[in-house]
Structures are given as C-alpha cells and as structure tokens.
Amino acid sequence: MKTTISMIATSLLTMAIASNVYAEEKRYIITFKQGKGEAVKSQMREKGGRKALEMRRQNAMAAHLPEKALQALRKNPNIEFIEEDVKRYPMSQQVPFGIPMVQADQLSDLQAGNRTVCIIDSGYDIVHEDLSGNAVTGSSDPSGAGNWYEDQSGHGTHVAGTIAAMNNDTGVVGVMPSSNINLHIVKVFGGDGWAYSSSLMAAAEVCADNGANVINMSLGGERGNVFERRAFDSLNNRGILSIAAAGNDGNTRHSYPASYDSVVSVGALDSNKEIWASSQQTNQVELSAPGVQVLSSVPTGTGRIASLSVAGAEIEAAPISGSPLGNISGALENCGTAESACNSAAGKVCLIERGNISFAEKVVNCEAGGGIAAVIYNNEAGLLSSATLGETVTNIPSVGISDSDGSALLDQLGTNATLANNASDYEYFDGTSMATPHVAGVAALVWSHFPNCSNTEIRAALTATAEDLGVSGRDNAYGYGLVRAKAAYDYLETNGCTGSI
C-alpha cells in the first residue's frame, strides 16, 4: 500500500547497522537428536547464531547463522542435519480495481458459456498462467500478422485478461473469471502495431462466423468510411454488440469505429472515477470504464512491475517503458529537471521533475552524472505512467511517480531509496483500450443471465443503469457514465426484454 512520506518514523541509522551486521547471515533449519536441543542452542549462541523459531515436536529450530556458526554446527554429532530455510511466497492473486468498480464481482459468470466474446487485437498468449485454461479459439489474419495464439505486443493479451483472467489463486481476475465464457481471438495486429480498415471488417466478419455475441475492439483511428459504417450497421442488425475504444488523443475529434452509431464508444476512468485526461470526448462517447493503471496479463515474462521505497515506506511507482531491469538502492539526490548532467548524483538515485526535455534525456543526464537509478515525478496531478524512453538505451532502471509523492520526497533528500524494475507476467496499462474490455466483459456477463435479450436491449440496459458522472445526464466525457453489471442485471430482472432487435 502507498504510505505517506511524512509518516515515516524508521531510524535509518539503526537500519543501516542491522543491515551490515546481518548481511552475511542466512536462515537455516537445524534438526537435532532427541533431547539434545539445549546443547545445540548453547553452541549456536556461542558461535554468534540467533534463534528465529523453535519447533519442539520436530526436534528442530530455525536460526540465523553466520558462516563460522554454520561450519561449527555441521560438526556437532548431536545434529542430524542442517539445511537452508528457503523462502516461500504467497500464491495469491489480485483483484484489479476495475472489477468491483464495474460490479463484476456481484454477478456469477457460471452460466457464461452461452455467450461468445470475440477480441480483435494483437493475439493471445495461450500458455499464460491466467489464460491457458479458458474456452478459447482463434483465427489468424491471412495478411501476415501471425498466429492468433501468439502476441508480439502484449496488447491483446492484456485486453483478454481484463475480460477473462481466471480465478486460479495467481495473477489477477477478469470480469468473467470462471473460464466458462467462450472467447474467439482474431489477430489483426502484428509487431508493427497497425492494420487496415478492410482488415478490421474482415476480422469482424470472422467474429460473426464464429458465433460472437460481443466484439471487443480496443483500437481505432481517424476518419470513418462508408464501407466500415455499413458493415458495423449490418453486424448490429444481425444481433451482435460491437464495442470500441473512444481514443487516447485527449481531444474532441471522433475516432473510428467507436464513433459509428452502431458501435458503443468507451471512455477511460481512473480509480477515482475521474475521466482520464487523454480520453477523447465526443458526442459519440456512450459509456466509461476503468482505463488508468489497469493491471492485467501480458505475454509470459514480458511485463514490468516497478516498486519504490524510501526509508522503508512504499511509494506507488510505474515502470518507464524501455528501462532495464534492476534493483538498486542509494541516497536520494535532487536533480531538478535534469536538463544537463546531474553531477551531484554519483552513486545516488536521481529525483527528477517531469518537463522541458524528454524522459530519455533526463535518464541519460542522470546516468552521465554517475546516478545509479532515476525517479521521475509528474508535473501534473496523478501518477506518471505510460512514460517511455523510446529508442534510447540506458543502463540504469527508472520509474515514474506522482507529483505529490515527488514533492514530498524533496523533503527526504539523502535518505535511502530502493527502486526496482522486475520482470512479470502482468503489467499496468493506461488507455481507452483498457476501458473497452471492461464494458465488453460486463455486456457479455449481463447478457449471459438474459440470453433471450437482443443486443439493442442489452445496450439500452447498460446505458440506462450507468452511474452518472461529470455533469448531470449524458456528456461527451463520460457518456451515460460508468458501466455497472449488477445495476444492469437488476434493471433487466425488473423490466425484462422482448428479444427483438
């Protein structure tokens, strides 16, 4: 959890001394002969060992042992054996903030096998620990994007995790985590990250051919065309609900296919239900959903998870794309906006304010001054996420933090900071691309409880029951508001549906 910097009360001197004294010690399990425990403990203490845990029934104890104590005890005839007390970690999973926010945790998805969600994207990591057990099929784009069950960019796997990451005690959970929802994957994006409008329409027809009820399109582009509009109108008339990202340019221009009348356009919210600054705001935005710092699956081993602690206090941090992996500790040094080499940062962690020059240049200037890691804080409200080094190669890890945490750290200069960029099977992404699968998942979840409803009735229920945000009534930022699964379920339970399109 994020801790307020002003609440830090840990003695840095005490921590440093303890770290130096015990750095060489490992923890071991010592199993001794019946009745010989006291003699063994006495020798252990004499050689500088420290008892950590006693297990009387097993004639054993756990202890921290310096090397000299370990060697002496190995020669003790009263000891049966000594082995390292190896670490164990919780095999737990996280519930991303968006799942309860859209009320997905309030509805069962055990009956979801009567619906199919088709994801048009960059592919699906079929061996991922949180996706491999799903009911999934797929189609590869014949134009050369590659196999549908591989994902070069990670985008499609992230989208799929939000919809259907499994409830398996690891990783995360999706909107429908029981593995009962049917998924069909159509890959249109390869490593270059784009496709044509005609390829999108061919993919949508593949979705229809494979029984799709809902199509997720976390994609878009400028300018619509008649061909595409007619195709989505046709899909809508055939009972398919198409859902697409509103766009990430932070302006009022329309993005397509989201801005066709027959497609649901989705805006992105943060964890406080505030519209994301980069979410496009148009008269076509219909619903909004979580899309900022969304944790989900990425192709195995390709993710990045960042962490930062200062004087033992955890601070929310986001990895900077392109930053190398690493775990670094050092004193915190103020480098301002790092518009030149930060020569006071030798052997230290650079604290840098965003602005004036690129992130890559800031990290390069930290490194040029001898800095061992970089922490860049935002110059506007919120966490600095989605930052990138582009094509620049650096040798030190770097992370982004919020403006408020950065300001607080200016009062902690010289204290020890520990920064880490670690490989992961999961990562935080921002964008209307991340909001879209929340809506697609909710639509399929609600529809699975009312399979006789038409796509237009499901759509109407979602808009009628969305949580009104922003100005009263529909607006161009939030649309009708935050999509809510349980509210839509209750609405249909009360009002029913005719099944007509």
pLDDT, tens digit, for every residue of 135-176? 999 998 766 678 999 999 899 999 999 999 999 989 999 999
SS3 state at 114: helix
Whether the Cβ atoms of residue 345 and residue 335 lie closer than 8 Å to each other = yes
pLDDT for residue 13:
26
From CA 478, how far away is CA 474, in angstroms rounded?
Answer: 7
- Could you read off the pLDDT of 193-216 as tens digits, one per residue? 677 888 899 999 999 999 999 999
User: Is a pLDDT exceeding 50 seen at residue 21?
Assistant: no
Give the residue from 495, 482, 460, 458 showing the smallest Cα distance to 213: 458
User: Is a pLDDT exceeding 90 seen at residue 89?
Assistant: no
pLDDT for residue 126:
96
In this prediction, residues 73-101 reach a mean pLDDT of 82
pLDDT for residue 92:
66
Confidence at 381, pLDDT banded by 50, 70, 90: confident
pLDDT for residue 288:
98
From CA 393, how far away is CA 217, in angstroms rounded?
Answer: 33
In this prediction, residues 346-353 reach a mean pLDDT of 96
Give the residue from 238, 242, 240, 239 showing the smallest Cα distance to 261: 242
Candidate from 14-28, 316-330, 376-390 with smallest mean pLDDT = 14-28
Active-site position among 218, 385, 433, 448: 433
pLDDT for residue 192:
67
SS3 state at 156: helix
User: Is a pLDDT exceeding 60 seen at residue 180?
Assistant: yes
The radius of gyration of the chain's CA atoms, rounded to the nearest angstrom, is 27
pLDDT for residue 193:
67
What integer best gives the mean pLDDT of the chain?
Answer: 89
From CA 63, how far away is CA 197, in angstroms rounded?
Answer: 65
Confidence at 25, pLDDT banded by 50, 70, 90: low
User: Is a pLDDT exceeding 60 seen at residue 19?
Assistant: no
pLDDT for residue 11:
32
Count how many residues are written for the chain.
501
From CA 113, how far away is CA 286, in angstroms rounded?
Answer: 27
Q: Please report the beta strands in 322-385, taking only residues with DSSP state E, as ranges in sequence order.
A: 326-334, 349-353, 373-377
How many percent of the chain have pLDDT more than 90? Answer: 73
User: Is a pLDDT exceeding 70 seen at residue 64?
Assistant: yes
Residue 121 is among the residues annotated as catalytic for this protein: yes
Residue 155 is among the residues annotated as catalytic for this protein: yes
Active-site position among 155, 158, 438, 449: 155
User: Is a pLDDT exceeding 80 seen at residue 183?
Assistant: yes
User: Is a pLDDT exceeding 60 seen at residue 219?
Assistant: yes
Whether the Cβ atoms of residue 268 and residue 386 lie closer than 8 Å to each other = no
Confidence at 106, pLDDT banded by 50, 70, 90: very high
Q: Helix, strand, coil shares of the chain as percentages rounded to 5?
A: 30, 25, 45
SS3 state at 358: coil
Candidate from 71-85, 102-116, 277-291 with smallest mean pLDDT = 71-85
Checking 380-384 for CB contacts under 8 A at 24+ apart, the result is 380/277, 382/270, 383/293, 383/316, 383/318, 384/318, 384/354
Name the H helices within 67-196.
67-74, 98-101, 155-164
pLDDT for residue 412:
94
Which residues have a Cβ under 8 Å from the Cβ of 212 and sit 6 or more positions away?
116, 117, 118, 184, 240
pLDDT for residue 144:
67
User: Is a pLDDT exceeding 70 seen at residue 17?
Assistant: no
Active-site position among 64, 109, 121, 288: 121
Encoded tokens for 435: 């909001």
Respond yes or no on whether the N-terminal peptide bond of residue 257 is cis (omega within 30° of 0): yes
H or E segment and range at residue 422: strand 416-424
